[in-house]
Amino acid sequence: MSAENEGFQISHEKEGNRLKVSLKGEINVDTSREFDAFINDNLEGVKELEFDLKEVDFVSSAGLRVFLNAQNIMDEQGSMVIRNMSEDVKEVFDMTGFSDVMNIE
Amino acid sequence: MKKQGSDIREISSKVKETAMNLGITKVLVYRGRKALRDIDNNSKRAISLSEELLMKLLDENKDTEYGKRYDFAHIGSISEYKEKVPLSVYDDYEPYIKRMVEDDEKNLLTVRPPKHYALSSGSVGVPKHIPVSEEELDIYSKYGTGLCFGVIDKYYRNTTGRSVKPGFGLNLIELKFQDTKHGVPKGAISGNIMKQVKDITKYILTSPWDVINPQGDMDLKYLRARFALEREDVTFLVGAFMTALVDTVDYIRANWEMLCKDIYHGRIDSSIKIPDEQRKVFEQLLCPSPERARKLVKEFRKGFDGILTRIWPDLQFVAGIGTGGFFTYSKKMRRYTGKNIPYNNLTYAASEGLFAAARHAGDTSYVLLPEGGFYEFIPANADDDSTTLTIDQLEEGEEYEIVVTNLSGFYRYRIKDVIRVTGFYNEAPMLQFIYRKSQMLSIQGEKTNEESVRWSIEQFMKDTKLVINDYSVYADTDSEPGHYVFLMEPDTKVPEEKIAGYRDVIEAKMMQANPSYGDKIRTGVLSPMELIFLQNETYQAYRDLMIRKGTSPNQLKPVRVIDTPIKKKFFFTLRERY
């Protein structure tokens, strides 16, 4: 794992059918694999999905695809919201148009 | 006894599937051979057939509103046709089409009623509705789907002495359409053709009908991969463009562990987006296949070079447009299939018609089909773009804008594509798509087209040994003098210290590809090019987003020119970080 990936962490809290996922570090082409696997393994039965990106300082193209995958899943089974983006990360979502298809607060 | 009964039913169903598959394969090959014979015969008299077709269309349509307006009744030759009927663009037909779509009016452009409307992106966001007649649909059916099996059958008979083996195909062509208020289907033409054979797709394609024709949002990438991977008897892969085929294998590469687990247990992972009712339907079609799953895992663990022939040992061909600007995807697909699998580049077609088809496996030139329309050609470099040539006046190596009179009511229609004549197949010209006129870059009159950019990238890849997944160009006129910005997505991150050297390479290639561009760089009329490397998966992210926003995957072409502020913001934001 490169230095850029060392600090990447996923933590989550589940209460009933509500899942809060807190991410830390960079969501780049390498760490997005772990993130994607987490999404694929943990959304069963979830009706409310919340991402907290307070400690995320970078989201790459591959990372955007994982958020879109999560949004596609949640469209069928509930709702999804992304919170606490830094200005830099929010800019990536806005400039690419991904914020048009996701609920960002 | 119950178990025995169920076993008998299963065996009987399997026997039926095998027999039907064999029968359908034979029919497809038969139709393909017939299409090949027709290409050969028609190409021998392409010039006279062309004129006969024009005269027939004019006679048939002389009493339509358009026919009366331009006096079709008194046109007796090609030269009179050129004199009396003007060149046209979509906007010339739009008022007629609006009356056809909304009020079901007849005999406006043609006596042939529209059996379909192909939707194409319009300039102001309102989709263009291109009428398609039954005769046009027949051409699509014959050459768009049928011919492919004839081409591949010929390839195998020439190389192995045997015909195409029966088997199943992974189909990525999406069937997505709705009806106008008068009940005429609108959407992708390929969907209409597929719908006509709905009842037999289960005997020849790996995906169930509800994946081919999805109702509601569902994860089609997973489903297509899932149903294809569980079978070992896949013999062909087909998509509209090579991008879709590569995206599917990339998806398998990223998700093979989940897919194999699901195949092992005979289930669909709960994270996969599928409406509940539909999930139940799909799950009834599945059963645990531990042996197949183990085989797949073993092969995936060896890596993805040549993977497709290892997981599908009977794979016989790949069909999808992979020419011109799709070449980076064809190269990548080659890594997945290995070098011995023939590719069929299908056809050169647009919503307005199917104009030419690949006559042999691997051909990157297409043979013009004289029964597909009457064609005229405007020399690409002519100052006067009102003078057109006919097929007997074309010269090998020259480039022309193609003008078509089609089977569905468009007359002397400029589709704005420029093609190069690469030779002749009997009397019929063979052509390659070179560029869209609307996609040309020209800051100071240098006229850089898609083909020049494609050639430069291909040479760049050879010289630098970099693998480029995809690329685009932007003409930056904000600074003085203006300059080009090349955007490339490499397979792996490029070290920062190498960028300047790579910039010099692509600049030199571009100057060679377009001497006018070279002159303008040397004389300072244009500033030196800028090179930006993009993050991995940027183009996939763009395609995912476009699909999410409603674009049909069948219509997702590579982004060669960054020509809108939205594209500019997207791609410039996702540049690699250093």
What SS3 string covers B1-45?
A: CHHHHHHHHHHHHHHHHHHHHHHHHHHHHHHHHHHHHHHHHHHHC
Answer yes or no: is A2 within a domain: no
**What integer pLDDT is reported at residue B19 of this predicted model?**
95
Partner residue facing A73 (CB), from B273, B548, B569: B273
Q: ∠ at Cα B229 (A72, A76), nearest 5°?
A: 15
**What integer pLDDT is reported at residue B498 of this predicted model?**
96
Q: Which residue has the tokens 């004289």?
A: B370
Q: State how far the alpha carbon of B22 is from the alpha carbons of B17, B27, B238, in Å.
A: 9, 9, 19
Q: Quote the CA–CA distance of B242 and B219 in Å, as a whole number.
A: 20
**What integer pLDDT is reported at residue A2 of this predicted model?**
47
Determine the residue of chain A that is closest to B569 in CA distance: A95
**What integer pLDDT is reported at residue B125 of this predicted model?**
46
Answer yes or no: is A103 within a domain: no
Tell me the helix, strand and coil percentages in chain A, rounded to 5. 45, 35, 20
The DSSP code for B246 is H
What tokens does B238 get? 């087909």
Partner residue facing A72 (CB), from B219, B270, B549: B219
Q: Which residues of chain B are modeled with pLDDT < 50?
A: 122-125
DSSP class per residue in B510-546? HHHH-HHHHHHHHTTSSPPPEEEEBPTTHHHHHHHHH
Cβ distance B535 to A62 less than 8 Å, yes or no, reads: yes
| CB-CB neighbors (< 8 A) of B538 in chain A | 61
Which has the closest alpha carbon to A60: A82, A93, A86, A85? A93
Which has the closest alpha carbon to A105: B247, A90, B393? A90
How near does any CA of chain A get to the CA of B568, in Å? 9
Buried b (16+ CB within 10 A) or exposed e, B89-114: ebebbeebbeebbeeeeebbbbbbeb
First to last CA, chain B: 70
Cβ distance B541 to A96 less than 8 Å, yes or no, reads: yes
Cβ distance B271 to A62 less than 8 Å, yes or no, reads: no
Determine the residue of chain B that is closest to A58 in CA distance: B577
**What integer pLDDT is reported at residue B124 of this predicted model?**
42
| CB-CB neighbors (< 8 A) of A60 in chain B | 535-537, 574
| CB-CB neighbors (< 8 A) of B273 in chain A | 72-73, 75-76
Q: Quote the CA–CA distance of B367 and B553 in Å, as a whole number.
A: 26
Residue B379 and residue B440 in contact, taking contact as beta carbons nearer than 8 Å: no
Partner residue facing A76 (CB), from B258, B275, B566: B275
Number of domains, chain A: 1
Answer yes or no: is A17 within a domain: yes
Cβ distance A96 to B569 less than 8 Å, yes or no, reads: yes
Interface of B with A (CB under 8 A): 217, 219, 254-255, 258, 269-275, 534-538, 540-541, 544-545, 548-549, 566, 569-570, 572-574, 577
Residue B1 and residue B8 in contact, taking contact as beta carbons nearer than 8 Å: no
- CATH code of the domain in which A90 resides: 3.30.750.24
Q: What is the pLDDT of residues A27-86, one digit of tens each?
A: 999 999 999 989 988 988 899 999 999 999 999 999 999 999 999 889 888 999 999 999
Q: Quote the CA–CA distance of B485 and B527 in Å, as a whole number.
A: 10
Cβ distance B271 to A39 less than 8 Å, yes or no, reads: yes
Residue B428 and residue B372 in contact, taking contact as beta carbons nearer than 8 Å: no
Phi then psi dihedrals of residue B477, to 5 deg? -110, 10
ipTM for the complex shown: 0.95
SS3 state at B368: strand
Determine the residue of chain B that is closest to A97 in CA distance: B570
Q: What is the pLDDT of residues B362-415, one digit of tens each?
A: 999 999 999 999 999 999 988 888 899 999 999 999 999 999 999 999 999 999
Q: Quote the CA–CA distance of B21 and B154 in Å, as a whole number.
A: 20
| CB-CB neighbors (< 8 A) of A42 in chain B | 271
What tokens does B228 get? 């294809």
Residues contacting B204, CB < 8 A, separation 6+: B21, B24, B25, B28, B168, B169
Partner residue facing A76 (CB), from B217, B255, B570: B217
Cβ distance A60 to B574 less than 8 Å, yes or no, reads: yes
Q: What is the pLDDT of residues B38-61, one digit of tens each?
A: 999 999 999 999 999 999 999 999
Partner residue facing A61 (CB), from B272, B274, B541: B541
How near does any CA of chain A get to the CA of B538, in Å? 5
**What integer pLDDT is reported at residue B196 of this predicted model?**
82
Cβ distance B569 to A97 less than 8 Å, yes or no, reads: yes
Q: Quote the CA–CA distance of B500 and B464 in Å, as a whole number.
A: 13
pLDDT at A1 > cutoff 50: no
Interface of A with B (CB under 8 A): 28-29, 33, 36, 39-45, 58, 60-62, 64-65, 68, 71-73, 75-76, 91-92, 95-98, 100-101
The whole-angstrom distance between residue B52's C-alpha and the CA centroid of its chain comes to: 30
Q: Quote the CA–CA distance of B252 and B336 in Å, as a whole number.
A: 11
Q: How many CB pairs under 8 A join A and B?
A: 82
Per the structure, the complete domain to which residue A40 belongs is given by 10-98
Answer yes or no: is A5 within a domain: no
Q: In what order do the strands lie in the sheet with B399-405?
A: B347-350, B353-357, B366-368, B428-436, B413-425, B399-405, B374-379
Determine the residue of chain A that is closest to B220 in CA distance: A72
Cβ distance B217 to A72 less than 8 Å, yes or no, reads: yes
Q: Is the N-terminal amide bond of B481 cis, ω within 30° of 0?
A: yes
Phi then psi dihedrals of residue B272, to 5 deg? -75, 130
Partner residue facing B548 (CB), from A60, A92, A101: A101
Partner residue facing A29 (CB), from B258, B536, B545: B536
Phi then psi dihedrals of residue B249, to 5 deg? -70, -35
Query: Can you give the C-alpha Rg of chain B in angstroms?
Result: 25
Q: Quote the CA–CA distance of B242 and B329 in Å, as a whole number.
A: 6
Answer yes or no: is A74 within a domain: yes
Residue B342 and residue B362 in contact, taking contact as beta carbons nearer than 8 Å: yes
The whole-angstrom distance between residue B402's C-alpha and the CA centroid of its chain comes to: 18
**What integer pLDDT is reported at residue A3 of this predicted model?**
46
Q: Quote the CA–CA distance of B28 and B149 in Å, as a whole number.
A: 6
Determine the residue of chain B that is closest to A74 in CA distance: B273
Which has the closest alpha carbon to B530: B462, B475, B574? B475
**What integer pLDDT is reported at residue B435 of this predicted model?**
87
SS3 state at B468: strand
**What integer pLDDT is reported at residue B2 of this predicted model?**
54
Residue B155 and residue B342 in contact, taking contact as beta carbons nearer than 8 Å: yes
Q: Quote the CA–CA distance of B38 and B346 in Å, as a whole number.
A: 16
Tell me the helix, strand and coil percentages in chain B, rounded to 5. 50, 20, 30
Answer yes or no: is A39 within a domain: yes
